[in-house]
Amino acid sequence: MASINWIFLCDYAFVDAAGKASIIGMWEHINARQLPLVWPQMYIVMNIIPDPTAETNIGVILSSPSGQEIAKIEGAKLKNPPTPAGILNRAVLTFGFFNTNFKESGVHHIEIFINGISIHSLSFTILIPK
């Protein structure tokens, strides 16, 4: 089974040609003046070890505090043949969410699926100052 070494929520992330991640603006909450709120861009970046024996399919679901699905990303596929020395390759993946419409304040959840099984989740909070 594949595993995640680390995962972050941020404003922007990219992976260069050498596989090195750049992570810009990590955060855990959004201060909103009012709802609904359209958030222009956010990224999830993760370091993952794919399954060496099978293709690894990765998906992400973003949901509201009431459990409503806000956004879904499917289709990242990784193959991970072992290196000659038996060392498993690692992959850095980014998932971007653009113009996401938030209608609720409170704790939102990002769930990571590998081959259809939920293996990790992140949360962030949308705050409305009083």
The pTM for the full model equals: 0.86
Task: Report the pLDDT value the prediction gives residue 103, as an integer from 0 to 100.
Answer: 96
- CA 20 centroid distance within chain: 17
Over the stretch 9-20, which tens digit does the pLDDT of each residue have? 999 999 998 888
The residues, ordered by sequence, that sit 6+ positions from 119 with a Cβ below 8 Å of its Cβ are 1, 2, 3, 4, 112, 113
| Cβ atoms of 22 and 14 closer than 8 Å | yes
Which residue bears the tokens 């991970």?
80
User: What is d(CA 23, CA 44) in angstroms, rounded to the nearest whole number?
Assistant: 9
**Domain 3-123 indexed as CATH 1.10.3110:** no
Q: What is the pLDDT of residues 67-126, one digit of tens each?
A: 999 999 987 776 665 566 666 677 888 999 999 999 999 999 999 998 889 999 999 999
Q: Tens digit of pLDDT for each residue in 40-58?
A: 999 999 998 877 777 888 8
In the chain, domain spans: 3-123
The CA distance from 94 to 7, in Å, is 10
